[in-house]
Amino acid sequence: MATSRKKSSGPDFARNNYIVLGIGLFLVILGFIFLGAGDITFAPILLVLGYCVAIPIGILLPAKKDDKGGSAAGSDG
């Protein structure tokens, strides 16, 4: 018995959220690459920017409500 349920009350992510999270993940990976290469100046800066700035912004950034239904929250797909 398959029933159609509405989306749960979890996080409402849009494309811009995933872009900012991807940038944060890229900064973290780049920071660990520099850390492995022995750079102890630039690597921590990248890691802090990734972990403490970009990833939280990507999570907390509100999803845009489009009239065209571009956000996943408004679609009945």
> Where do the structural domains in the chain lie, given as residue ranges?
15-60
Q: Given this model, what pLDDT does residue 7 score?
A: 58
pLDDT of residue 35: 96
Question: What would the two tokens of residue 18 be?
Answer: 């995933």
Q: pLDDT by residue (tens digit) across 29-67?
A: 999 999 999 999 999 999 999 999 999 999 998 877 665
Distance of alpha carbon 65 from alpha carbon 42, whole angstroms: 37
- Rounded to the nearest angstrom, the gap between the alpha carbon of residue 36 and the centroid of all alpha carbons in its chain is 25
Q: Look at 75 and 8; give whichever has higher pLDDT.
A: 8
